[in-house]
Amino acid sequence: MEIDCQTACPNGYYGPNCDDQCGNCVDGDVCIKTNGTCPGGCAAGWINDRCNHRNIALGRIARQSSTLTESTVRTGNTTHRYEAWYGVDGRATTDVHSKPLTCTHTNSGDQTWTVYLNNSNTDKIQQIKLYLRQHFPFRNKGMKIYVGGQLCFQWSHTTYPPAIADVECQQALTGNNLTIQTSDYLTLCEVQIFVCSHGWFGEDCDKQCHCSLNTEVCEKITGQCLGGCAPGYMEIDCQTACPNGYYGPNCDDQCGNCVDGDVYIKTNGTCPGGCAAGWINDRCNHHCHTNES
């Protein structure tokens, strides 16, 4: 930033012109100001290189239709209840007997498990990761996943998910809860639901929103901005720069006459190198008339 390009981005920002906001680095660490990565890794609940992909299920309230209670040597001769909240406690495993015990477990019969999310209406849910019990996978035949009561994904009555399952809903869904249903025992060791942080979108949250209103959060799957694209960008996802010769909102404005055919700035149409001979004003679109003697 700055004209002499000697000033580093302020803390919390990175990239060209310091326009990109850092993600959620561990322990409030500062991201690398050239590419936004977190050298120490991500804070709890955040993933990917820039730590801007969030697990919105972590630590949320969960309920299940029944809870298995066990008192055996395996649990140290103490009574243990395989409560619903173990499915969102942040400890991912496929070993139901791992210590400390960290998996949910219901009784037999038709069973459901639900997590209640504190998400915004811009958080369309599509990416889910399940950590299931590595033994007895057939118990999960016909498993169904619902988001806000809408069917996200289901396996047929003869198939079941692997112990670690990356699930993509058939379409992005909006809802403040997620329910998993089976017709047998239901054991979940961790359920993760990923959405992008505000200002980012795409499958890997690697595309930055370009909305005309600074306060608007773009749709986190498609990048669409209800208020339209920021000046200099076009198309539904607002990722395409204006074609040469045009600038501004919706790329409707035609560029002026920059010096030596210089490239103008596509957000506001100004010519950084000045105007071609005979043209004046910021956008070099006002012809300069001279009086000849």
Cα separation values, 141 from 39, 182, 189, 248, 256, Å: 41, 7, 17, 54, 65
The pLDDT tens digits along the chain (293 residues) read: 555 566 778 888 887 778 778 888 988 788 888 888 898 888 888 888 888 888 999 999 999 999 999 866 455 567 889 999 999 999 999 999 999 999 999 999 999 999 999 877 668 899 999 999 999 999 999 999 999 999 999 999 999 999 999 999 999 899 999 999 999 999 999 999 999 888 889 888 888 899 998 888 898 888 999 999 999 999 999 999 988 888 888 888 888 888 877 777 888 888 888 888 888 887 788 887 655 44
Cα separation values, 218 from 46, 209, 229, Å: 19, 6, 10
Structure confidence by residue, pLDDT tens digits, 85-121: 999 999 999 999 999 999 999 999 999 999 999 877 6
Give the DSSP letter of residue 230. P
| Residue carrying the six token digits 């599509």 | 126
Tokens matching residue 33: 């100001």
- pTM equals 0.79
Structure confidence by residue, pLDDT tens digits, 258-278: 887 777 788 888 888 888 888
| Residue carrying the six token digits 């820039």 | 50
Q: How far apart are the first and last CA of the chain?
A: 47
Element at 253 (helix H, strand E): strand 253-254
Tokens matching residue 240: 């395409």
Give the DSSP letter of residue 229. B
β-strands 125-132, 69-72 pairing: unpaired
